[in-house]
Amino acid sequence: MGHSMAGNNLHILGMWANFAISAAIIAYFISRMASELRFQQQKIAAHREQQLQDEQLLAIGTLAAGTAHELGTPLNTMKLLVDEMLLQQDKNQDLTLLSQQIAQCKTTLKELQTTANESTSQAFSLQPLQSYFDQLFERWHLMRPELKATISYSENLIPAPDLRFHPTVAQSILNLLNNASDASPNLVEVSIAWTEAEITIQIKDQGEGFNKPDTDDIGKPFYSNKAEGLGLGLFLSQSTVTRFGGSINLQNREDGGTLTTINLPVNLSASDGTSA
């Protein structure tokens, strides 16, 4: 009788042990499946968001191409009229500045076409870092002749790398520089530092910064805190820089204004693996 009871107890204990082990295994796999399902849902949501952003970029690109085509004729007319006025009023500083700005607009439209052609060829010239940014800042100065800006390069023991950047990267940086200029027309400070793998560009302005309630909307298409802003500059810059593995961060400075930090990998590559 005692042996029978002991056998039954062992059998019951074995059943409970088997049940506990089975329950633990089932719970483990259910947990793994739930985690994998959440991960897949997040990937689907991210893919949908990226697809929506690509559609927005395509729409903006189509609009930009049409607008660039339409601007050609009025710019040519304005250029002819200003040149005639300059012949009649030699050394008129206002007319000279206006002529330079019209010429810059025409140059920008030509560069838009050139950039589109270069983007399809994937043949980008290799340039020393300082030469690349010197040319970029020269373009910025032509666009903002009245602006006071300080530009500095880091004193780094690591030699400055040569860059082979996609043409749209320069436009993205210019957008951010112009945003800083709009916020702080008196002074903008720009500094550039680098490591073997990454380039960091910091843009400091002395504007009003941005309000915390606006933080979630910053970088969204067609959102702008400027009265005459289109709300596209930051959106396009973020889309481009992110596509090539970089990042843009904006934060309010303690002493007023905004600090914009751009991080770019030295060897830029698009998200689809295409070398830039």
Tens of pLDDT, residue by residue over 8-30, are: 677 777 788 888 888 888 888 88
Query: DSSP string covering 145-164, please?
Result: TT--EEEEE---SSPPPEE-
Q: Is residue 23 situated within a structural domain?
A: no
Distance CA 48, CA 184 (A): 37
Any domain includes 73: no
- What is the per-residue pLDDT across 91-107, written as a single tens digit (0 to 9) for each? 677 777 788 778 777 77
Per DSSP, the three-state class of 206 is coil
Contact between 57 and 65 (Cβ < 8 Å): no
Which residues on neighbouring strands pair with residue 192, listed in sequence order? Answer: 153, 201
**Is 3 domain-assigned?**
no
Q: Which helix (H) or strand (E) holds 190?
A: strand 188-194
176, part of any domain: yes
Q: Are 215 and 252 in contact (CB under 8 A)?
A: no
Please give the single-letter amino acid code of residue 112: L
CATH of the domain at 197: 3.30.565.10
β-sheet with 258-265: strand ranges across: 149-153, 188-194, 198-205, 258-265, 247-252
Element of type H or E holding 189: strand 188-194
Range of lowest pLDDT (17-26, 72-81, 133-142): 72-81
Q: What is the identity of the amino acid at 72? A: G
- Is 127 a residue whose pLDDT tops 90? no
Is 119 contained in some domain? no
The domain total for the chain is 1
Nearest to 178 by CA among 215, 150, 205: 205
- 194-207 pLDDT per residue, tens: 988 899 999 999 88
Instruction: Name the β-bridge partners of 252.
Output: 258
pLDDT band (50, 70, 90) for residue 59? low
Q: For residue 267, what are the domain limits?
A: 128-276
231 is a domain residue: yes
User: Which tens digits make up the pLDDT trace of 215-244?
Assistant: 555 655 545 555 444 456 777 788 888 888
| Mean pLDDT over the full length of the chain | 76
Q: How far is CA 149 from CA 94, 102, 138, 185, 206, in A?
A: 22, 22, 11, 9, 11
Confirm whether 66 is domain-assigned: no
- Is 263 inside any structural domain? yes
DSSP state of 263: E
| Strand, coil or helix: 34 | helix
